[in-house]
Amino acid sequence: MAIPENKYFFIDPHRCIGCQSCVQACSECDTHKGKSMIHLETVDRLQSPQTLPVICMHCDSPTCAEVCPADAIKRTEDGVVQSARKPRCIACNNCVLACPFGVPKMETSMDLMMKCDMCYDRTSIGKKPMCATVCPSGALHYGTLSEIEELRPRSRTNNEFRFGGQTIRTKVQMMVPRQSPATHLDVADGMFESPADEADDAMLSGAVFELPTVQ
Amino acid sequence: MKSPLLPRESLIAGAYGLGAMLILAALIVLGSRQLSHFDAALVGYTFASLFAMFGIVYRYSMWLQRPPTALYWRRGWQAFFTRRGRARNVGLMFRRLFSSFALNIFIWRRNWLRGAAHWLIMWGCVLAAAITFPLVFGWVHFEFADGSFERYRANIFGFSTFSFETDSLLGFLIFHGLVWASFLVIAGVMLAMRRRMRSHDALALQRFGEDLLPLIMLFAVSITGLMLVVSYSWMDGFAYEFLSITHAATVIFTLLWMPFGKFFHIFQRPAQLGVAFYKDAGQRGQQAICVRCEQPYASQLQVDDLIEVQRRLGYRYEFVTDRVDHYQRVCPRCRRISMALSQGKLWQESHGTAS
């Protein structure tokens, strides 16, 4: 069983409305029963209502796996970076600190790192991840490239990210403006960007939703 | 320049593996008093054990040469032997050994079925290994004591130790030690197999070689061992030779498989202790402050170590700005927010230039 090659996970953080549906649905996934692996962050609670969901981006060269001293994190042939293997994880927290997207969670009581595995029990048999089935705003979408192109005519996909001198490519695609000349997303552009500093909130100003085309 | 036939790491690991194998061989000769107490019928088990020793030490050595493992191995020992905390660390080590290794508390917390399965399998294997290896290597042998056939004496490394009556309860428990071990293992394997056959997560993620084969092997070893007991106790040795060869084949396969599959976690897992002492040292030391939110988020020791590990692995998370020199100085939460803000910024710019 493997994830179909034509299926992609698309994330569009600025569409998030903070409804928590993804968080609740995630905790129902069978591979991490009862525990939600999604981080639903508020950008700045005092200044902005903007929220954003964070899922694992499933890097081609996962830093979390490389820095793991126990060799506990494995990437499947279809590109999904799995949660730490239970017999091996020694709960050192390296993956939590090293992940460039801040994804893994440490379950201290169980001495175990857990993370989003794209609901592998579902996606490996052709179903959608739990979060993508319930997201009402399309911040999390699972489907084919042609589907997303039809749904978001003003957007395009990007899976290249820059962190200082390091470029990371991911299986998960982030939506960016179609006319943007950027070839990648640079974390430095947002790192010291605060809604409080700006007259215009970067994320809210980006929140111009593309409504689905009604056939 | 021609590349060497074998990488340097492999040669080092091979040398350690060979050394460990030779030491074990020497201990077998020494402990069995020049093989005088060595049972030649068990020579197959001995050679399988010697190979397992080579393979385990080879793989362990390869594992230790990975940059993160090498660093945390060193740091774990440094944290344990820190001058002021040595006595406290010894106490802590025993407490952690008891809670994590003897009781498996962290596994019970994951799920009772996992906890019960692992605890039964682990103690069954520990008991079986404690009995089997010394017997196979000739380190322990029994002989009649006091010139009668009523008392048995255990000799360890050729030195006489305690004796017991052959018909006593203690004798019964000792002679059937492997039976008790196999009861524990079989019960544990049944519980683990039940989970592997029914649980959706296990069905999606498990692999035959990694997850099912070890359980099948443990079951095969235990059940063939029990059949030997049944054969000589109640069936006048029916099919004993066939059963003993089958049992030997299952045990030897399991020993040969030890360095490669899931069983290797037995040797990796103690690293959990070193990490616990490393974390203690980190908590007592300076805390790293996130350059973005200015909140503490990890120990400075671990952050600095991670920067070093990432450099050795070839990652380039360095920044050329006044506000931050390395991405590792940003806490996980600020990483999550920063990426989304940079995406939002693209939209902001796009609105500015559009229309």
Identify the pLDDT of residue B294: 95
Q: Where are the domains of chain A?
A: 8-60+118-206
User: pLDDT tens for residues B251-299?
Assistant: 999 999 999 989 999 999 999 999 999 999 999 999 999 999 999 999 9
8 A C-beta contact, residue A127 and residue A30: no
Asked if B323's CB is within 8 angstroms of A192's CB, the reply is yes
User: Is the pLDDT confidence value at A203 over 80?
Assistant: no
Identify the pLDDT of residue A32: 87
Identify the pLDDT of residue B252: 96
Residue of A31, A67, A119, A184 for testing the chain B interface, max B β-carbons within 10 Å: A67
- What's the average model confidence in pLDDT over B106-131? 96
Identify the pLDDT of residue A44: 79
User: pLDDT tens for residues B324-337?
Assistant: 999 999 999 999 99
Residue B107 has which token pair? Answer: 């596994």
Residues 53-82 of A with CB under 8 A from B: 54, 63, 66-71, 82
The correct answer on CATH 1.10.3470 for the domain covering A8-60+118-206 is no
Query: Residue A10 contacts by C-beta under 8 Å, 6 or more apart in sequence?
Result: A140, A141, A142, A143, A148, A157, A172, A173, A174, A175
- The C-alpha angle A167, B330, A65, rounded to 5 degrees, equals 55
Identify the pLDDT of residue B166: 87
Which candidate from A43, A54, A164 shows the least CB-CB separation from B341?
A43
CA distance linking residue B171 with residue B176, whole number of Å: 8
CA distance linking residue B1 with residue B235, whole number of Å: 68
User: pLDDT tens for residues A47-89?
Assistant: 778 899 999 999 999 999 999 999 999 999 999 999 999 999 9
8 A C-beta contact, residue B105 and residue B99: yes
The enclosing H or E element of A140 equals: strand A140-143
User: Is the pLDDT confidence value at A206 over 60?
Assistant: no
Which candidate from B275, B302, B330 shows the least CB-CB separation from A90?
B275
Identify the pLDDT of residue A33: 84
The answer to whether A181 faces chain B, any CB pair under 8 Å, is no
User: pLDDT tens for residues B149-181?
Assistant: 889 999 999 899 999 998 999 999 999 999 999
CA distance linking residue B107 with residue A131, whole number of Å: 28
Interstrand relation of A185-186 and A155-163 (parallel, antiparallel or unpaired): parallel
Q: How far apart are the CA of B20 and the nearest CA of chain A, in angstroms?
A: 22
- What's the average model confidence in pLDDT over B142-152? 85
Q: How far apart are the CA of B187 and the nearest CA of chain A, in angstroms?
A: 19
Q: How far apart are the CA of A60 and the nearest CA of chain B, in angstroms?
A: 13
- What's the average model confidence in pLDDT over A191-195? 71
Please tell me which residue of chain B has the smallest CA distance to A35.
B110
Q: How far apart are the CA of B39 and the nearest CA of chain A, in angstroms?
A: 35
Residue A67 has which token pair? Answer: 């820095």
The answer to whether B6 faces chain A, any CB pair under 8 Å, is no
Helix axes B112-136 and B43-64, enclosed angle (nearest 10): 120
Within a 13 Å sphere around the CA of B205, how many CA atoms are in the beta-carbon half? 22
Quickly list H helices, chain A: 21-26, 63-66, 94-98, 120-123, 130-134, 145-151, 188-191, 202-206
Interstrand relation of B287-289 and B296-299 (parallel, antiparallel or unpaired): antiparallel
Q: How many other CB atoms are there within 10 angstroms of residue A194's CB atom? A: 17
Identify the pLDDT of residue B355: 27
Confidence of residue A38 (pLDDT cuts 50, 70, 90): very high
Stretch among A91-100, B4-13, B72-81, B182-191 having the lowest mean pLDDT: B4-13
User: pLDDT tens for residues B234-247?
Assistant: 999 999 999 999 99
Closest listed residue to residue B57, CA positions, set B14, B100, B27? B14
Residues 137-166 of A with CB under 8 A from B: 161, 163-166
